[in-house]
Amino acid sequence: MRKTFLLIFTSFFFAPLYAQTWQELDSIAIACFRKFEYAQADSFWLLAQRKIGQQDSDFGMLVFKRGDCAYYLQDYERAVGQYQLAARIYQNMGQGAIKEYLKALASTADTYKHLEQCNQPATLYLACLDTLKAYNLLESKEAGMAFNNIGAFYWGVGNYAKAEDCYMKSKNIKLKLLPEELSSYATTCNNIARLYISLGLYEQAKSLLLEAQSILQKNILTGRSSVTYETVVANLAMVQSKSKQYDEAEKYYLQALELRSKRLGTNHNDYSTLEQNLGLMYMSQLNFEKAELILTAVRDKKLQNAGKKHSEYASICRVLGHFYETQKQFSQAETLYIEALTALKEYNTSKKGDLRLTYTDFGRFYARQGKQEKALPLFREAYNLKQQEIKAIFPLLSESEKLGYYKSCYDVINDLVSSLLHEATKDKTLVGEVFDILLFSKAIVFSSVVFQNV
C-alpha cells in the first residue's frame, strides 16, 4: 500500500517536469541559480541533461553549469569532474567550440586550487595560453581571462613582477573590449588590487578597488567568473584596516557582511571568513574585547557546522591561539594550537598550506617563549611540507622565475635553521642537519643564477 502511494505521488509530482523540454528545464534551473538555490538548479540541469541524451554543445553547457553548482556547494571534487567532462566534450567538437573548451579548462584549474593541487592549475592555465596562441586569439576575452589566471598563479608562487605583468595584460585586453567586458574588467582590477595589498601598496590598491566598486554598483553580478560586489567591499575594508583607517574599515566590513549574508546566509564559510577578518581588524585596533567576542563566535559556528575534524575549524583555532598569546594567556593559546593541529591531521586535509602554516605558527609560539626543544619538531614538519611544495612547483617555472619563488620560502627555512642552531649547543649532531638544509638552498640558488646568466 505504502509503495503504491509513493509511486502515485512520485508520478504526480515529477510528471510535469518530464513533460517539459530541456530548454524549459534549463530556464527553471537558471532561475534557481540566480536565487543561489544551487542544489535545486543542479537537479533541474540533470533532468535537462537526460533530455538531450547526446554529448553535443548543449549537453556540454549543461555539464558545465552543473560544475558551477558543485563549486558553489563547495563539492570541489565533483566540480572538477564536471568541468573536465565539459572540456572533453568541447575539445572533441574542434575549433567551433574552442572558447567553451578554454572556459572549461580555466574553471577546472580554478577549482583545483581549492584542493591545493598546486601543479594542476598552472599546467591548465599554460595549456589555455598555448591554445590561444595556436588559434591567434591573444586579443580575445578568453586571452584576458587566461592572463588573469596565470597572474594569480605567479602571485601564489611569489613572483610578484610576473604576476603584475600578466594582470596588466589582462586589464589592457579587457579595456579594449569595453563595454562588453565591463564586469570582467572589474574582476581584474580587484585582482591587481589584492596583489598591491600584499605588497603594501595601499593607495594604488584603493584606487583600483574604487574603480571596480563603481562598475559593480551598476552591474550586480552572480556568475562565479566575476567578482561579486561584496568581495570588492571586503577588500576595501582590508585596505583601510592595513592603512590603520579603522573606522572606515569597520563600515566596509559591516556592509560586506550584510551583502554576503543575503547572498550566502550567515552559516556559510565565506561569511565566517569575513567575520574572522573583522575580528582580526579589531585585534589590530587593540579592541580586544570585540575581537574575542567575534572570533569565539566564529569558532563556535565552525564547530557546529563543520565539526572538530575540519580545516575551517582548525583555521579559527589557530587565529584564536595567536589572539590569546597576545593576551599572555599562554595555556589557552597552546590548547588552541594543539586543537588546530589535531583537526588538520584527523581531517587528512589536502590543504597542505594550512597544515604548514599551523606548524609554523605553533613553532613560533614556543620559540617566543624560549622553548626551542618544542619548537624544533614543528619547524621540521613545516619545512618538510614546504620542500614538497618546492619540488611540485619548480618544474613549472622557468629558470629565471625559480630564484624569485625560492626567496618566498626563506621564512620557513630560517625558522628551522635558527631553531637547529639554538639546539645544536646541546646536541652537536644537529649541525649536520643545518648543513643539509643550507646545501639544498645553495644548490637551488646556484642553478637559478647560472641559468639566468647562460
Look at residue 307 in the predicted model and tell me its pLDDT: 78
Look at residue 9 in the predicted model and tell me its pLDDT: 41
Mean pLDDT, the chain, integer = 84
Confirm if 353 and 116 have CB atoms less than 8 A apart.
yes
DSSP code of 425? T
Give the best-scoring range by mean pLDDT among 4-8, 291-295, 355-359, 401-405.
291-295
- Residue 101 CB neighbour total at 10 angstroms: 24
Look at residue 410 in the predicted model and tell me its pLDDT: 80
Residue whose grid cell is 580554478 = 110
Q: pLDDT at residue 397 above 60? A: yes
Look at residue 378 in the predicted model and tell me its pLDDT: 94
Q: pLDDT at residue 405 above 90? A: no
Q: pLDDT at residue 169 above 80? A: yes
Confirm if 78 and 70 have CB atoms less than 8 A apart.
yes
The predicted model gives 217-246 an average pLDDT of: 78
The predicted model gives 155-167 an average pLDDT of: 84
Look at residue 447 in the predicted model and tell me its pLDDT: 55
Contacts (Cβ under 8 Å, ≥6 apart) of 177: 141, 144
**Domain regions of the chain by residue span:** 17-137, 350-390+405-454
Q: How far apart are CA 192 and CA 50, in angstroms?
A: 42
Tens-place pLDDT, residues 312-335:
889 899 999 999 999 999 999 999
pTM (two decimals): 0.71
Using CB atoms within 10 A of its CB, is residue 430 exposed (0-12), middle (13-18) or buried (19+)? middle
The predicted model gives 223-231 an average pLDDT of: 63
Tens-place pLDDT, residues 44-61:
999 999 888 777 889 999
Confirm if 388 and 352 have CB atoms less than 8 A apart.
yes
Look at residue 159 in the predicted model and tell me its pLDDT: 78
Q: pLDDT at residue 448 above 90? A: no
Look at residue 350 in the predicted model and tell me its pLDDT: 53
Q: Which of 161-165, 167-171, 244-248, 276-280 has the least mean pLDDT?
A: 161-165
pLDDT band at 450 (very low <50, low <70, confident <90, very high): very low
- Give the DSSP per-residue string, 395-412: GGS-HHHHHHHHHTTHHH
C-alpha cell at 22: 530541456
Look at residue 4 in the predicted model and tell me its pLDDT: 46
Look at residue 117 in the predicted model and tell me its pLDDT: 64
Confirm if 210 and 236 have CB atoms less than 8 A apart.
yes
- Which DSSP helix (H) or strand (E) runs through 335? helix 330-347
Look at residue 17 in the predicted model and tell me its pLDDT: 54
The predicted model gives 351-367 an average pLDDT of: 88
Q: pLDDT at residue 275 above 60? A: yes
| CATH 1.10.260.40 applies to domain 17-137 | no
pLDDT band at 452 (very low <50, low <70, confident <90, very high): very low
Q: pLDDT at residue 393 above 80? A: no
Tens-place pLDDT, residues 110-129:
888 777 665 678 788 888 88
Is the bond preceding 179 in cis, omega lying within 30 degrees of 0?
yes
- Which DSSP helix (H) or strand (E) runs through 122? helix 119-134
CA angle 67/71/74 to nearest 5° reads: 140
Q: How far apart are CA 160 and CA 261, in angstroms?
A: 33
Q: How far apart are CA 32 and CA 267, in angstroms?
A: 20
Q: How far apart are CA 164 and CA 187, in angstroms?
A: 14
The predicted model gives 151-171 an average pLDDT of: 86
Q: Pinpoint the alpha helices (H) of 348-371.
A: 352-368
Q: How far apart are CA 200 and CA 15, in angstroms?
A: 59
Look at residue 34 in the predicted model and tell me its pLDDT: 87
Look at residue 379 in the predicted model and tell me its pLDDT: 93
Amino acid at 148: N
pLDDT band at 449 (very low <50, low <70, confident <90, very high): very low
The predicted model gives 179-205 an average pLDDT of: 89
Which residue would you say has higher pLDDT here, 394 or 371? 371
Q: pLDDT at residue 89 above 80? A: yes
Look at residue 184 in the predicted model and tell me its pLDDT: 84
Amino acid at 12: F
Look at residue 11 in the predicted model and tell me its pLDDT: 43
The predicted model gives 72-82 an average pLDDT of: 91
User: How crowded is the C-beta side of 109, counted as CA atoms within 13 Å?
Assistant: 25
Contacts (Cβ under 8 Å, ≥6 apart) of 83: 64, 67, 104, 107, 108, 111
Share of the chain above pLDDT 90, in %: 42
Q: pLDDT at residue 419 above 80? A: yes
pLDDT band at 400 (very low <50, low <70, confident <90, very high): low
Look at residue 111 in the predicted model and tell me its pLDDT: 87
Which residue would you say has higher pLDDT here, 444 or 213? 213
Look at residue 435 in the predicted model and tell me its pLDDT: 82
Look at residue 445 in the predicted model and tell me its pLDDT: 56
C-alpha cell at 265: 546566509
The predicted model gives 432-448 an average pLDDT of: 72
